[in-house]
Amino acid sequence: MELQVIQNKIYEIRGQRVMLDFDLATLYQVETRRLKEQVKRNIERFPEDFMFILTEKEWNELVAICDQLPKTMKHSYIIPSAFTQEGIAMLSSVLRSPIAIQVNINIMRAFVKTRQYILESNQTAKELAELKLQLRFLQEDLESLSKDHESYEQHFDDIYMALAELANRNKEKENKPRNRIGYV
């Protein structure tokens, strides 16, 4: 069984990554009703952080945003149960079949891959944020340099004007007849 198929059946509900009972039943090759029966018989093994029943609102939101749900389930009046990674691990002790064991191994691998992907994307997001911050600092430095450049340019213009004025005064003095000092 491909990990991608399993990963596509992992949803995020209540801030947890979960799989729904009908998807698990399909993977374990049992009827959903049989899976639910086994869970009810061993309910003490499934505390709320292992398994929970979706609210009607959560189910309707999931149906609205998810096109990979089976059409028969989209219109079902039965609200599914959601199993966390720990709950799925507990299912293998309840459903004792070779298929259940193998499927469980694949599901655990899919959860691990999903977790790795999320960690990598978080790392990428952090690196992107750092790059944006560095870019902002560079832009501020560039703006500062631009302002400094304008200031220096103004100073150079002032110096040039002062030198030009001095040169003009000097020319005016050269053109003026000078009074000779000494014996004439």
Is residue 169 a part of any domain in this protein?
no
Which residue, among 88, 138, 80, 77, has the nearest Cα to 111 in the 3D structure? Answer: 88
Has this prediction a pTM greater than 0.95? no
Q: What are the pLDDT digits (tens) for 6-65?
A: 788 888 899 888 999 998 888 888 888 988 998 999 999 899 999 999 998 998 888 888
The answer to the question of residue 92 being in a domain is yes
How many distinct structural domains can be found in the chain? 1
Residue 155 located in a structural domain: no
Assess if residue 162 is contained within a domain. no
Residue 172 lies in a domain: no
* Full residue range of the structural domain in which residue 24 is found: 3-126
Asked, for residue 163, whether it belongs to a domain, the answer is no
Question: Mutual orientation of helices 21-28 and 85-94 as an angle, nearest 10°?
Answer: 40
Domain CATH number, residue 15: 3.10.260
Contact in structure between 85 and 17 (CB atoms under 8 Å):
yes
